[in-house]
Structure 1
Amino acid sequence: MSILILNKTSYSKSPYDLWLKDLEEPVVMLTSTERLHECKNYDQIESFDEYPVNGCIEIRALELHETYSFNTIIAMSEYDLLRAGKLRTHLGLKGQSYESALLFRDKVLMKQRLEEQGIPVPHYRKIESPVDLYLFVQQFGFPVVVKPIDGSGSVDTKVLKNEKDMMKYLSKGLDGNVEVETFVDGDMYHIDGLMIDGHITLNWPSRYINGCLAFQEEQFLASYQLGADNPLTSRLIGIVEKALKALPSPKTTTFHAEVFHTPDDKLVFCEIASRTGGGLIREAIQQGFGFDLNEVCVKKQCGLPYDIPDYSQLKIGPKQLGGWILIPPKYGRLVKIPSIPFENWVTKQKVSAREGEVFQGASSSVDVVSSYLIKGNSEDVLINRIHQVASWCSENMIWEGKSTCSLK
């Protein structure tokens, strides 16, 4: 018996060889061509071009199963969840099934299931032709949001504010895998956590600053954890618990949910994924709660021991509140990206770009040139520090070439 890992993520996010060093059974890695140089210390490693859509990966996994008799398939990337679910279902393996993965990936099926269980969601519809979009707008009006049914990172997500926007969007051709939903006015929160053996072990909310579409206007995306005394904390935890019960949730998984809080004090569920959130969500959880979400999830699935605080400790919230900020690329050449000076409360700086590199803006909410993990003893302190970092980056990062707007 052995372990199969389907891997698209960077080594910094998933050092499987370190996590599984005590495993006594073979480990096989199927990864992308771009990540091959990061992968080592496995019994067999194979790479694939066009990894997110390459159907040869599934076939190769089935062929390798004849040799290795896999008992566990590990998949942490959004793009691997469906293929891993299909393989587990076909091979009769434990872990997330295809049905479960589909309901977490397909935003239309997800909203249908949540709506059936009384969880408020935006009005929505799958778009199969331009007429569907037109009729939806006729019924609910502008603005509306169109996005891929199985997308992530806000890639190809558009807000259509009026008929001109709609006609421009339709003039470029309609993707066959798109949904439309009503635009929800309000703040967006993300709720992140971990399920182990069917029990919600960690479930904690944070609030976005600027929102996941901020990259489209070259604005930063940021987030900060809520305090236990925030009135929304228990409400957000509760609605996510209800959603996880409504869906065929895997017994062991990390999760990342997004929920709107409207001006009239209502919660509207946006979506939930059966994987760890992007940005520095994982790092903020580790800073505040003392363990790595991905490491614990992987070790549990592979039958290895793991360290995690008692549930009673996790339930009361992070030891110290944390937040993070992502600085997106602009249009132009990045001339200078100096180290940030706030060493006492910026606990991590990750530079993802090289000086001299040329960019055409950001393509997703997690497309960044640099990111910063922050700590603070209150929500207000975190908000102030996030804006300090944004101002410092705006004043000290030097760009040449066209830029449409500055960081706000």
Structure 2
Amino acid sequence: MTVVILHPPGRSLPPYPEWLAGVATDLVLVTGPATAAGAGYADVLSIVDYETSARVETAVLDIAERTDLTAIVAVGVLDQIRAGGLRDHLGLPGPGRDTAIGLVDGVRAAGLLADAGVPSLPRGRVRRAVDLYWYAHRWGCPLRIRSRRVAGWPTVVVLHDRDELRAFTEGGLPANQEVMPSLMAEPVVAGERHRGVFALDGDRARAMDKYPDAHTFTELAGGALSAVDAMAGWPHHVEAVSSDEGEWLVETISCDPTPATPGADFLLCAVVRAQVGQLPALARVV
């Protein structure tokens, strides 16, 4: 039984062998050339152009031809899409490519939430400068611009008024937005926030700790994970914000935490183990 781990270069290496002890005979790490792997791997494949080439995919296909490949682990947002496509092709368990895109792309996720009737922040893709003026007209200022294809959808800039909007768009948007849009816009909601690490248990999420309005937030998180078609048990960090009217809105969903994400180690370990069938039974409020 072989488990392949896709790990992007430049990112600190989690203790995969420790987290996956007892669930695989061999761990094969596919990564960039600068990663110091350490012990616990049956093989380490260094791909020079890891982030831009199809050599990662062909390496995994070669492994599948030679061994009994049972699972693919990927935590980086782009690698989750890669892994989804490979699972589709090889017939392996876990989220496929379409599911991965829904979880990774902020605009796609927002659309899935809206279609499912889950209360969430409205979002729109940004292809041209005029899009920002339309969103400012529709939602008003301040306006938050996020990276739509980066873990946690980090904030690029908050435009507090039309003057800041004009200054931001004067030099034009980053190149290739019309071909490969990487920005999205949303209104700024400055209400109370709750966040938690959740995994679906059947068709609902459960939380281990109690805190104000826990039931509402827990049900909201369960609905959000169902809406984005997450695999049962697939853990995510969900953050919700209270609107001026007191309604809880899903703001972000992520299964690729940054070090600053509350509960990052807990979530990352749960994400890795979920991909080899070790599904967590409960969620944790952080």
Instruction: Determine the C-alpha separation between the residues in 1 that align with 2:118 and 2:23.
Output: 41
Corresponding residue for 1:339?
none
Change (3 A) 1:52 1:235: farther
Q: What are the Cα deviations for residues 348-370 of structure 1, in whole angstroms up to 9, with x where unaligned?
A: xxxxxxxxxxxxxxxxxxxxxxx
Letter in 2 for 1:272: I
Corresponding residue for 1:100?
99
Match of residue 281, structure 1, among 262, 269, 286? 262
Corresponding residue for 1:131?
130
Q: What are the Cα deviations for residues 20-61 of structure 1, in whole angstroms up to 9, with x where unaligned?
A: 343453221112334x21343212102235644454322322
Instruction: Determine the C-alpha separation between the residues in 1 that align with 2:275 and 2:152.
Output: 26
Corresponding residue for 1:86?
85
Instruction: Determine the C-alpha separation between the residues in 2 that align with 1:203 and 1:44.
Output: 38
Corresponding residue for 2:16?
16
TM-superposed deviation, 1:276: 5.0
Corresponding residue for 1:27?
27
The within-5 A match list for 1:342-361 is: none
Instruction: Determine the C-alpha separation between the residues in 2 that align with 1:200 and 1:47.
Output: 40
Indicate if the aligned counterparts of 2:191 and 2:242 stay in contact, CA closer than 8 A.
Answer: yes
TM-superposed deviation, 1:101: 0.7
TM-superposed deviation, 1:296: 5.0
Instruction: Determine the C-alpha separation between the residues in 1 that align with 2:268 and 2:51.
Output: 20
Corresponding residue for 1:169?
168
Letter in 2 for 1:267: W
Instruction: Determine the C-alpha separation between the residues in 2 that align with 1:278 and 1:270.
Output: 19
Instruction: Determine the C-alpha separation between the residues in 1 that align with 2:118 and 2:205.
Output: 22
Change (3 A) 1:256 1:69: same
SS in 1 for 2:3: strand
In the alignment, structure 1 segments of 5+ residues that lack a partner are 205-226, 285-291, 324-408
Change (3 A) 1:203 1:84: farther
Instruction: Determine the C-alpha separation between the residues in 1 that align with 2:121 and 2:101.
Output: 20
Corresponding residue for 1:330?
none
Q: Does 2:184 correspond to 1:179? A: yes
Match of residue 199, structure 2, among 186, 194, 197? 194
Letter in 2 for 1:22: G
Q: What are the Cα deviations for residues 91-137 of structure 1, in whole angstroms up to 9, with x where unaligned?
A: 21111111111111111111111112222223322112112222222
Instruction: Determine the C-alpha separation between the residues in 2 that align with 1:94 and 1:52.
Output: 24
Instruction: Determine the C-alpha separation between the residues in 2 that align with 1:280 and 1:121.
Output: 20
Larger radius of gyration: 1
SS in 1 for 2:198: strand
Change (3 A) 1:71 1:185: same
SS in 2 for 1:180: strand
Instruction: Determine the C-alpha separation between the residues in 2 that align with 1:20 and 1:190.
Output: 27
Indicate if the aligned counterparts of 1:113 and 1:246 stay in contact, CA closer than 8 A.
Answer: yes
- Runs ≥4 in structure 1, deviation > 6 angstroms? none
Instruction: Determine the C-alpha separation between the residues in 1 that align with 2:191 and 2:98.
Output: 32
SS in 2 for 1:103: helix
Identity in percent: 22
SS in 1 for 2:163: helix
Instruction: Determine the C-alpha separation between the residues in 2 that align with 1:132 and 1:122.
Output: 17
SS in 1 for 2:213: helix
Compare 124-133 and 186-195 and name the one that shifted more.
186-195
Number of aligned residue pairs:
278
SS in 2 for 1:63: helix
Indicate if the aligned counterparts of 2:235 and 2:270 stay in contact, CA closer than 8 A.
Answer: no
Letter in 2 for 1:61: V
Q: What are the Cα deviations for residues 206-254 of structure 1, in whole angstroms up to 9, with x where unaligned?
A: xxxxxxxxxxxxxxxxxxxxx61x3321111110011122221113322
Corresponding residue for 1:255?
236
The within-5 A match list for 1:1-400 is: 1-8=1-8, 9-11=11-13, 14-23=14-23, 25-34=25-34, 36-49=35-48, 51-153=50-152, 155=154, 157-175=156-174, 176=177, 177=181, 178-195=183-200, 198=202, 203=207, 228=210, 230-275=211-256, 278-279=259-260, 281-282=262-263, 292-295=266-269, 297-299=271-273, 301-302=275-276
Instruction: Determine the C-alpha separation between the residues in 2 that align with 1:147 and 1:50.
Output: 27
Change (3 A) 1:282 1:48: farther
Corresponding residue for 1:341?
none
Q: TM-score, normalised by structure 2?
A: 0.83
Q: What are the Cα deviations for residues 150-170 of structure 1, in whole angstroms up to 9, with x where unaligned?
A: 122554521111222222222
The CA RMSD over aligned residues, in Å, is 2.9
Indicate if the aligned counterparts of 1:106 and 1:149 stay in contact, CA closer than 8 A.
Answer: yes
Instruction: Determine the C-alpha separation between the residues in 2 that align with 1:109 and 1:299.
Output: 26
TM-superposed deviation, 1:275: 4.3
Letter in 2 for 1:67: R
Corresponding residue for 1:390?
none
Instruction: Determine the C-alpha separation between the residues in 2 that align with 1:146 and 1:300.
Output: 32
